[in-house]
Amino acid sequence: ELDGVRFAGGRTDIPLWLAAADVVVVPSRWEGMALVPLEAMASARSVVATDVNGIVDSVPEGAGAIVPLNDGEALVDALVERLTDEELAEAEGWLGRAHVETHHDVTTSTRELARVYLRLVGARRSR
């Protein structure tokens, strides 16, 4: 264990850990739909993550740092910057939260999906 750093392993109490985090680090080598950054941003936490598909699509500019894959030095630099500049991390966290509320809200997403289905059903009936 590093001083002040916890590697918690698999957890089911994710909201509690996100609430306790100062910054959320996602050093993935690949992602499909990156849920961890979305959960972090929903909890108003700054995200430091690697530049891989899925993550770059979900973390908007200003909500944290996207660093090159396999660049440990850049990852550490981005993390240290946010841990030493609380105002930056907080501002990024709130920008991320606004992004999630605007683009990943369950009610809005469900409504949009229902509209797509209705259009598809309508198009099929008109054939």
Query: CATH code at 81?
Result: 3.40.50.2000
9 domain residue, yes or no: no
**Structural domains of the chain, count:** 1
Q: What is the pTM of this model?
A: 0.81
81 domain residue, yes or no: yes
**Mean pLDDT of all residues in 19-43:** 94
Strand order in the sheet with 46-50: 23-26, 46-50, 64-67
Label the pairing between strands 46-50 and 64-67: parallel
5 domain residue, yes or no: no
7 domain residue, yes or no: no
The boundaries of the domain holding residue 35 are 14-125
pLDDT at 79 over 80: yes
40 domain residue, yes or no: yes
Confidence of residue 127 (pLDDT cuts 50, 70, 90): low
8 domain residue, yes or no: no
107 domain residue, yes or no: yes
Neighbours of 44 (CB within 10 A): 19
**Mean pLDDT of all residues in 10-16:** 91
100 domain residue, yes or no: yes
> What is the chain's mean pLDDT, rounded?
92
| CB 6, CB 25: distance < 8 Å | no
